[in-house]
Structure 1
C-alpha cells in the first residue's frame, strides 16, 4: 500500500500520538510474554519536557524526505563505533564480554542481511528485502555496580549524577546501556534530534545479545536490532496508531503491533486487503520471528548519515 506522507505541521501530532492498541506493561515480577519497547513513550515525555524537540525532529524529517527525493544517500561504508555501559546489581546483570560481543555479532548480521533467517523472507517481500550495509565495532565496555533494582525509562542510567554512566562521545559513538529496566520493558532508544546527553539505546541486560534460555523468546539479540532501528530514525511498522504511517513506502500498513510468530500470510485488517510484513525488525514479534529490513527503511536510515544529516558525524 502506498503511504501518504503528512505535511510537516502534522508531524508533531504524529510524534506525540498515543497507541491505544498496545497492551500495558507487565509488572516487574512477571515474565515478559510480549515485546514492549518504550521508545515512543519516552519520546512523548521528551516532547513534553522540551517543546523545541518537535521542531528539530520536523527539520530532520524535512531533510530526510528531501534526501530521499533527491537521492542524496550514502555510498560509502559506515562503521558505527559502540560503547556498552553495563550497570549491574546481580551477577546475572553483569553480562560477560562474550555476551556483549555476541550482540555486536548479531547486529552485524542483521544490518548486512547475512543473518541465516533472512532466507526465510516470503517471496512477496523478497524484492524489497534489504542489506542496510552498516556494521558495528565494539570499542569499549564500561561497568559499574549499583544498588538499583531497576532503572525505568527516565534516562537515569545515562547520568553519573543519578548513579548511571555518562555517554562516551555521543556525537560519533553509539552508546548502549545494559541494565535492568523494569516494568516489562525490553528496551528503548532515542530518535535523532534529542539531547546528546541522553543519546543512545538502552537494553534490558536479560535480553542483551545471545542470552540464556530463560530470556526466550527474546534471546537472539533482536531487541537491540529493533531499538537501533529507532536510533537510526525508523518508526514502528504500524506507525504507533491503528493502520498508522511509519513514513516508509515499501512497508505494508499494519493494523497494530504483532506478537509471537504470526504465520505467513498474515492478512491485514487495514484496507485494501494485503499481507502484513510481520517479519520486519520494526514490528513486535518474537526474536525468531523478525529477520528483515526493507529498501525503503534502508534509504530512510541512509538519509541521516549524508552531509547535513542528523548523524552525519558517524559517516566521517
Structure 2
C-alpha cells in the first residue's frame, strides 16, 4: 500500500532536489522525449513561498479523508475552460478548431471515450477509470507578442510581463497556449498555489490535434497530463526512483517511461510489478498513454468536494 500523506519535511526534500527552470530564450530544434516542468515549477514556488508546503499538506490530508469517507463528487463537475493564446507567428496563433480539438480530447480522455481506451491490458482493466469530469470551452483570448519563448517562470500568465492574466481562476481552468522553449511540452500548477498563476501551460505546437509536425505529441495528451497535475495527480513514478504517486492502485515505477514501451514492462522495484506505462501520468508518447486509474479518479474528485482545494468547480 502506498503512503497517502507526506509530512512537510518530506515535501520540501522531494522538491528541493528539483532544479529551478530558467526562462528559455531559444527553442530546441526537436523534442525527442516528453518534458513536463510541473515539478520544477513547484520547487521554485516552494522556494519563494515556504507556506505553500503547509497548504499542500493540508490539501493532502483533506484528500485522504475525503477518499476514505467516500465524499466524492463522482462525475458532477463541469470545468469551464479559458484558453489564452500568445503568438508571435501565424503558426503559434492556433485556430479555434485546433483549440476545440483539445477540449474534445480532454472530454474523451477524462470520460474513457477515447478510442484507445479499449487497448487497456487485462491486468489493468479492473482499475481503468471513467473519471467523469467534463470540459466546456468558455472563452478564447488572443494576444500578439514579440517573445520567441516564455520559459517556465509564469510570465505568460502576467499581463504586466507581456502575457495574459488568468480569467476567474477559482471557477475556470485557464490554459495558456504559447511557445515555452527548452524542450518543455507543458506544465501545470498544483492545487494550493496562487490564484494569480493558477492553470496549465501547453506549448502551442502540442496543443490539441496538432498534426504530423508535432508527432509523437500530436494527439492532445500533453494537456491531459498537465490537467491531471492541476487536479492533484503526481507523476506515476513519484518523481523519485521507485517513488510514490500517492495512489494505491498504480504500480510502483522505476522512473519515467518514454516512447511506447512494449507490454509487459516490468519494474525492478520491490515485487517487480508490471508498470502502467499507458497511464496519462507517465512520460510516454501520446499514442502510448490512454488511461487513468480508479485511485487517480478518487484523488482528482476529492479536490472538488465542499472544503476541497477546487470546490468552486464542484456541485
Same fold (TM over 0.5): yes
Gaps of 5+ in 2: none
1:92 pairs with 2:91: yes
Aligned length: 310
Residue of structure 2 in register with 1:286 after alignment = 285
2:178 counterpart residue number: 179
* Separation in structure 1 between the aligned mates of residue 149 and residue 8 of structure 2, nearest angstrom: 38
Query: Which stretch shows the higher mean deviation, 11-20 or 203-212?
Result: 11-20
Alignment deviations for residues 204-237 of structure 1 (CA, whole Å, 9 cap, x no partner): 0000000021100000000000000000000000
1:120 aligned residue: 119
How far did residue 76 of structure 1 move?
Answer: 5.2
Q: Is the 8 A contact 1:159 1:165 kept in 2?
A: yes
Tell me the distance in 2 between the aligned counterparts of 1:139 and 1:14.
39
Contact 2:18 / 2:40 at 8 angstroms: preserved in 1? no
Give the whole-Å Cα distance in 2 for the aligned partners of 1:5 and 1:189: 21
Question: Secondary structure, in 3 states, of the residue corresponding to 1:302?
Answer: helix
Q: Deviations over 1:125-160 (max 9, x none)?
A: 000000000010001000000000000000000010
**Over aligned residues, Cα RMSD in angstroms?**
1.4
1:293 is paired with a residue whose SS is coil
Structure 1: which 4+ aligned runs deviate by more than 4 Å? none
- 2:164 and 2:258 map into 1 onto residues whose CA distance is 33
CA contact (8 A) 1:85 1:178 kept: yes
SS in 1 for 2:123: coil
Conserved in 2, the CA contact under 8 Å of 1:117 and 1:291? yes
Q: Cα offset for 1:81? A: 0.1
2 CA distance for matches of 1:125 and 1:99? 32
Alignment-derived partner of residue 155 in structure 2: 156
- Give the secondary-structure state (helix, strand or coil) at the position aligned to 2:63: helix
Whether the aligned pair in 1 keeps the contact of 2:186 and 2:226 (CA below 8 Å) is yes
TM-score (norm 1): 0.95
* Correspondences of 1:192-231 after superposition (within 5 Å): 192-231=191-230
1:263 to 2:250 alignment: no
Shift in CA distance, 16/105, structure 1 to aligned 2, threshold 3 Å? same
Matches within 5 A, 1:1-316: 2-13=1-12, 15-18=14-17, 28-75=27-74, 77-316=76-315
SS of the aligned residue for 1:206 comes to helix
Change (3 A) 1:312 1:5: closer
Q: Provide the rounded CA distance (Å) in 1 between the counterparts of 2:128 and 2:13.
A: 26
TM-score normalized with structure 2 length: 0.96
Which sections of structure 1, spanning at least 5 residues, go unmatched? Answer: none
**What is the deviation of 1:18?**
3.2
Q: Distance in 1 between matches of 2:147 and 2:314?
A: 36
**8 Å Cα contact 1:32-1:184 kept in structure 2:** yes
Question: For the residues of structure 1 that align with 2:28 and 2:300, how far apart are their CA atoms?
Answer: 36
Secondary structure in 1 aligned to 2:141?
Answer: strand
Contact 1:74–1:305 (CA<8 Å) still a contact in 2? yes
For the structure 1 residues 52 and 9, does the alpha-carbon distance in structure 2 shift closer, same or farther, using more than 3 Å as the test?
closer
